[in-house]
Amino acid sequence: MMQIFKNPNYKFIPNRYYGFAFSILLTIITIVSIIAHGGLKYGVDFAGGTLLEIRFEQPINTATLRSAFRNIAVGNVSIQKFGEGYDFIVRFESQMATSAESTSTQIIGLLNQEIPGNPAQLVRIEMVGPRIGKELQKNAILAILIGMFLILIYVSIRFDFRFGTAAVVALIHDTLTTIGFISITNTEISITTIAALLTLIGYSVNNSIVISDRVRENLRKMLKDSVPDIINISINQVLARTILTAFTTFIVAFMLWLLGAASIKDFAKVISFGIIIGTYSALFVGAPLVAEWEKRFPSRKRRK
């Protein structure tokens, strides 16, 4: 693997239009997926309702569990099985009772009655009203927008407004594409997935900063080279670090996705995809946008 990154000289900037075209394709796929699914699938955190994580001593199938809940008038019931049939995530469209304690008692009593000989344990319960869910939606969107704005200011001050703008465009690209992945995989939008998106924003901007820092160093040394050439050289110089860091981080996130508990699987799934798309955008979106900008509107300091 190290041979791939030994004195690399890949033409990222000369071939940047392929990257731009692929990014546009990903954006179109995202839009089509969201329309085809009738919008994003919101979890209990945002849509309101009740979420239960239930664990049985012996395996059962989803149909048996769904049958046990048939007489509860709480709207549609969504059941998701994990592992070998011991663990389930159950979601109801509305709150089952006024408190978590009474809901827990009601659920355990119902399951012991409907599925005798297979004791159930209520591992987790979440109850959110529709009004609180709407407020959480607004706060989540606001948190993402504020994060991007602060990153724009930080990168613009530390490097250059062009780098800051390109970094934010790359972050928007990463966020939209990851939302497309969430839509395609029918993953629920919850506090967990929002946390993953915010983590992704931090991870992606770190990649952009590493490349921008190397570009800034080379701009001072390579006065005779054009800015696009300097950017291409800079990307190649940090390529090994970028890819290897992404690979090791991805392995950890992917293993959590495969082997982690139900409560962390969605977070690990989104992060796993986000690492890939964040690394891609740093190489094929952010820095190439700066090169394109410089080509069309050269900075005064380097004009001849």
Kindly give, in sequence order, each residue whose CB lies less than 8 Å from that of residue 135, ignoring residues fewer than 6 positions away.
Answer: none
Residue with tokens 């986000």: 274
Residue 188 confidence (pLDDT) above 70: yes
Query: What domains, with CATH codes, occur in the chain?
Result: 2-42+132-302 (1.20.1640.10), 49-128 (3.30.70.100)
**How is the beta sheet containing 120-128 ordered, strand by strand?**
77-82, 87-92, 49-56, 120-128
What values do phi and psi take at 261, rounded to 5?
A: -65, 160
pLDDT (mean) for 191-205: 85
Whole-prediction pTM: 0.78
Range with lowest mean pLDDT among 101-105, 211-215, 280-284? 101-105
How far is Cα 53 from Cα 126, in angstroms, rounded to an integer? 9
- Tell me the pLDDT band of 5, cut-offs 50, 70 and 90: low
Element (H, E) at 182: helix 161-184
* pLDDT, tens only, 135-173: 777 787 888 888 778 877 887 787 778 888 888 888 889
Mean pLDDT along residues 2-18? 80
Taking each helix axis from N to C end, the angle separating 161-184 and 16-36, rounded to the nearest 10 degrees, works out to 40
Whether the Cβ atoms of residue 193 and residue 266 lie closer than 8 Å to each other: yes
